[in-house]
């Protein structure tokens, strides 16, 4: 079973994401911000990361940059999932090593499409 | 909705568009016509149907038929099939036709399919000859949206990888618009596939997905025959996932959903 780390400071979003991803046979780990997520990744790299942008402590972009510098940190497929919908910002996320990008709000169908694009399904 | 109203409506839609409504017809009709009733300032779907019965050839009847035919779709619907188009089908056609390629998206709906084709052409690794893309649909409302090329956040996330979004779209306030370069690649036309239609012949690739399988059998046969006539010698016909090969066609090697005339498959393999 593949693992997906869901990183979002909103409990509601984590819950929705968990429900969708569990139905796609992912085992879910949750983190509330980038710092929390980095700790999880240092323990064991997940197969996928669903990543919010704006979070307290460490935001998604900063987490992604640090993740990609960790040993094995280039392996997880990272799918950004953010209300940050400006082309310029999306490009920034891709340059930092994101594999795909979901603009909030999203639904299950979009998650399936984006995870397929990222080679996760 | 009472059964006579429903029967009347289904007969009208079938006669005008070839579409055969099945399954939960009452629910389907309600969900499609309720927005139309609101737009027209009519109190209910029943009132819409009353008006159409009084004037079955009027503008409202046409709007009703159009509302029933448009379906939700996605960019690059069936990734594998579009992948094979760009990897196998387009290069093979291009090699055969250095003077230019003609593509027709028949039943293009709100334009996602035509723009997906235009993106593949734009992204081709080997330069292609000049490509002409025609996109046609029965619904003028759908065509207007297609031509404007403006899609919501939700719509652009149906099937469109993020890098393609950034490459081919420009960001608006609350939506995304297909780039001018891509919009210029597509010519739009209102066309009812069950009419004895007038399009130029000689299309090298006709894409008609998830359209004829919803048709009544007679309309399906007639439409497929006309598409066959519009297909150039050696041309390819692409249908929706799971739609069977039309009479006289067989699957093209290596390309899901794509068919060639039986008599021509030998040359395809040789190519």
The predicted-structure confidence for B135-158, as pLDDT tens digits, reads as follows: 999 999 999 999 999 999 999 999
CA angle A112, B116, B122 (to 5 degrees): 125
Residues B13 and B126 in one domain: no
pLDDT over 80 (residue A39)? yes
- Compute the average pLDDT of residues A17-44: 97
Q: What is the pLDDT, as a whole number, of residue B199? A: 73
- pLDDT above 60 for B269: no
Residue B209 placed within a domain? yes
* B89 and B196 inside one domain: yes
Please check whether residue B69 is in contact with residue B16, taking contact to mean a CB–CB distance below 8 angstroms. Answer: no
- From B109's Cα to the closest Cα of chain A, the distance in A is 20
Q: How confident is the model at residue B271 (pLDDT cuts 50, 70, 90)?
A: very low
User: Is the distance from CB of B78 to CB of B256 less than 8 angstroms?
Assistant: yes
Region A33-61 average pLDDT:
97
Chain B residues lying within 8 Å of A113, measured CB to CB? 74, 157-159
pLDDT at B197: 73
Q: Check CB contact under 8 Å for A100 and B74.
A: no
Residue B129, chain A, CB below 8 Å: the answer is no
Chain-wide mean pLDDT for chain B?
Answer: 93
Sheet with A2-7, side-by-side order of all strands: A26-31, A2-7, A48-51, A77-82, A100-103
Cβ distance of B166 and A113 shorter than 8 Å: no
The CA radius of gyration of chain B, in Å to the nearest whole number, is 19
List C-alpha distances in Å: A96 to A101, B9, B163, B215, B255: 12, 55, 14, 48, 35
Question: Do B129 and B47 reside in the same domain of the chain?
Answer: no
- Is the pLDDT reported for residue A107 higher than 50? yes
Question: Of the candidates B49, B69, B89, which is a domain's last residue?
Answer: B69
Selected residues 74-93 of chain A with any CB under 8 Å from a CB in chain B: 85-87, 90-91
Looking at the DSSP assignment, which residues form a beta bridge with residue B188?
A: B135
What are the tokens at B115? 């723009």
In this structure, the answer to whether residues B114 and B194 fall within a common structural domain is yes
Cα separation values, B246 from A14, B216, B217, B225, Å: 47, 15, 12, 9
pLDDT for the residue numbered B267: 52
Tens digit of pLDDT for each residue in B103-119?
999 999 999 999 999 99
Same domain assignment for residues B20 and B119? no
Query: Which residues share a beta bridge with B260?
Result: B250
User: For chain A, what percentages of helix, strand and coil (3-state, to nearest 5) are there?
Assistant: 45, 20, 35
Number of A–B residue contacts, CB under 8 Å: 37
Residue B51 lies in a domain: yes
Domain count, chain B: 2
Q: CATH code at B200?
A: 3.40.50.150
Residues B131, B38 within the same domain: no
The CATH number that applies at residue B60 is: 1.10.155.10
Question: Considering the domain boundaries, does residue B171 fall inside one?
Answer: no
Establish if B169 belongs to a structural domain: no
Residues 6+ apart with CB under 8 A from B196: B226
Provide the pLDDT for residue B270.
47
Of B74, B157, B163, the CB nearest to A94: B163
Q: Are B226 and B239 in contact (CB under 8 A)?
A: no
Alpha carbon distances (Å) from B147 to B139, B183, B206:
12, 7, 19
Interval A113-119 mean pLDDT = 94
Q: Could you read off the pLDDT of A11-20 as tens digits, one per residue? A: 999 999 999 9
| Cα–Cα distance for residue pair B187/B114, rounded to 1 Å | 9
A67 contacts A43 by C-beta, under 8 angstroms: no
Q: Which of B34, B51, B69 is the last residue of a domain?
A: B69
Digit-coded pLDDT (tens) for B202-238: 999 999 999 999 999 999 999 999 999 999 999 999 9
Domain that holds residue B97: 79-147+180-270
- Mean pLDDT within A52-69: 97
The pLDDT of A25-36, averaged and rounded, is: 98
Let me know if residue B31 belongs to a domain: yes
Which pLDDT tens digit goes with each residue over B233-244?
A: 999 999 999 999
In a domain, B139, yes or no: yes
Average pLDDT in the B74-98 region? 95
The CA distance from B11 to B166, in Å, is 44
Q: What is the pLDDT of residue B200?
A: 76
Which is more confidently placed, B149 or B2? B149
Residue to test with chain B: of A110, A111, A120, most B Cβ within 10 A: A110
Query: Smallest Cα–Cα separation from B226: which of B264, B193, B265?
Result: B193
Pick the last residue of a domain from B11, B46, B69. B69
Phi, psi values for residue B218, rounded to 5°: -65, -40
Give the per-residue pLDDT at B161.
96
* Same domain, yes or no: B186 and B256: yes
Q: How far apart are CA A35 and CA B190, in angstroms?
A: 55
Angle at A31 between CA B174 and CA A29, to 5 degrees: 105
In this structure, the answer to whether residues B136 and B37 fall within a common structural domain is no
In a domain, B257, yes or no: yes
CA B231 from chain center: how many Å?
16
Residue B123, phi-psi category: left (phi > 0), alpha (psi -120 to 50), beta (remainder): alpha
Task: Give me the number of domains chain A comprises.
Answer: 1
Phi, psi of B231 (to 5 degrees): -85, 130
Reported as type and span, the H/E element at residue B188 is strand B186-190
* CA–CA min distance B271, chain A (Å): 31
Test A114 with B157 for CB contact under 8 angstroms. Answer: yes
d(CA A102, CA A80): 6
Q: What domain range is A70 assigned to? A: 2-117
Q: Kindly give the interhelix angle for A87-95 and A60-69, rounded to the nearest 10 degrees.
A: 20
Specify the 3-state DSSP secondary structure of B94. Answer: helix
Range name among B14-18, B59-63, B185-189, B266-270 with the lowest pLDDT average: B266-270
CATH number of domain containing A20: 3.40.50.2300
């Amino acid at each position: 079973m593949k693992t997906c780390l869901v990183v979002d400071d909103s409990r509601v979003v984590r819950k929705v994401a968990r429900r969708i991803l569990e139905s796609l046979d992912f085992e879910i780990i949750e983190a509330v911000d980038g710092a929390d997520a980095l700790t999880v990744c240092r323990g064991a790299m997940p197969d996928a990361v669903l990543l919010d942008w704006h979070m307290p402590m460490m935001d998604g972009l900063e987490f992604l940059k640090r993740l990609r510098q960790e040993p094995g940190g280039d392996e997880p497929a990272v799918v950004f999932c953010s209300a940050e919908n400006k082309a310029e910002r999306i490009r920034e996320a891709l340059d930092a090593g994101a594999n795909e990008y979901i603009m909030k709000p999203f639904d299950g169908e979009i998650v399936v499409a984006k995870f397929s694009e990222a080679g996760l399904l | 909705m009472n059964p006579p109203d429903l029967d009347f409506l289904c007969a009208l839609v079938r006669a005008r568009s070839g579409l055969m409504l099945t399954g939960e017809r009452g629910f389907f009709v309600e969900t499609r016509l309720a927005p139309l009733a609101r737009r027209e300032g009519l109190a209910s779907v029943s009132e819409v149907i009353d008006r159409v019965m009084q004037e079955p050839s009027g503008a409202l009847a046409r709007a009703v038929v159009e509302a029933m035919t448009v379906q939700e779709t996605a960019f690059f619907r069936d990734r594998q099939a579009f992948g094979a188009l760009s990897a196998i089908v387009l290069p093979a056609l291009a090699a055969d036709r250095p003077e230019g390629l003609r593509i027709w998206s028949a039943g293009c709906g709100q334009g996602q399919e035509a723009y997906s084709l235009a993106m593949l052409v734009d992204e081709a690794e080997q330069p292609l000859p000049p490509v002409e893309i025609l996109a046609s649909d029965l619904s003028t409302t759908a065509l207007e949206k297609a031509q404007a090329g403006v899609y919501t956040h939700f719509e652009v996330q149906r099937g469109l990888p993020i890098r393609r979004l950034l490459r081919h779209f420009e960001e608006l306030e609350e939506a995304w618009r297909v780039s001018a370069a891509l919009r210029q690649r597509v010519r739009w036309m209102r066309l009812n596939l069950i009419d004895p239609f007038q399009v130029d012949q000689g299309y090298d690739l006709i894409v008609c997905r998830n359209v004829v399988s919803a048709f009544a059998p007679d309309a399906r046969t007639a439409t497929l025959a006309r598409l066959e006539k519009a297909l150039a010698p050696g041309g390819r016909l692409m249908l929706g996932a799971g739609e069977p090969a039309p009479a006289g066609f067989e699957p093209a090697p290596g390309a899901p959903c794509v068919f060639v005339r039986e008599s021509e498959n030998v040359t395809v393999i040789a190519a």
